[in-house]
Amino acid sequence: MKTKIKNGKEYIFDIVRKIYVQNKPEEWVRQHIIKYLNKEKGYPTSLMSVEKKNEINTIKKRCDVICNDNNGTPLLLVECKADHIKLDNKALHQSIIYQKKINAKLIVVTNGKKNWCLKINGQDITFLKSIPSYSEITQS
């Protein structure tokens, strides 16, 4: 990860937005999941959006990461938590609310130590063992 110090604060380079952003705990997790999805799972950074603004129930929210296919269809909705935050029902509920607007194929909730990957079909939630690669999810 490319980092720099400015005015005594550390900044980390966001390869999607192509800017340096302040390296706070949640940002560290976001940048690492982006790198993992790109390098290990084959998701193109050109098809990712970071902190995309959305209006959900008249409230403006920002989704941490959305990975799309070549047609702009959302594949993954990624919700990031700082590494000291335990993944729980509250984090899951937040991502499900975002999912109602985004309608991605899968949701990923991560704190950098643990990843939850799940598929929602109506009222059914299925937890997957791992995050599928870009080629796997685009072929399904």
State if pTM tops 0.75. yes
Where are any strands of DSSP class E within the chain?
A: 3-6, 9-14, 19-22, 48-56, 59-68, 74-80, 106-110, 115-121, 124-128
CATH label of the domain that carries residue 106: 3.90.1570.30
Domain membership flag for residue 2 = no
Look up the domain containing 71 and give its range: 24-138
Residue 75 in any domain: the answer is yes
Q: Is 53 inside any structural domain?
A: yes
Instruction: Tell me, yes or no, whether 36 lies in a domain.
Output: yes
Distance CA 97, CA 75 (A): 16
124 lies in some domain: yes
Give the integer Cα–Cα distance in Å for 55 and 53.
7
Number of domains in the chain: 1
Contact 34, 48 (CB under 8 A): yes
The answer to whether residue 15 is domain-embedded is no
For residue 11, being part of any structural domain is answered with no
15-53 pLDDT tens trace: 999 999 999 999 999 999 999 999 999 999 999 999 876
Average pLDDT, the chain: 91
Say if 80 falls within a structural domain. Answer: yes
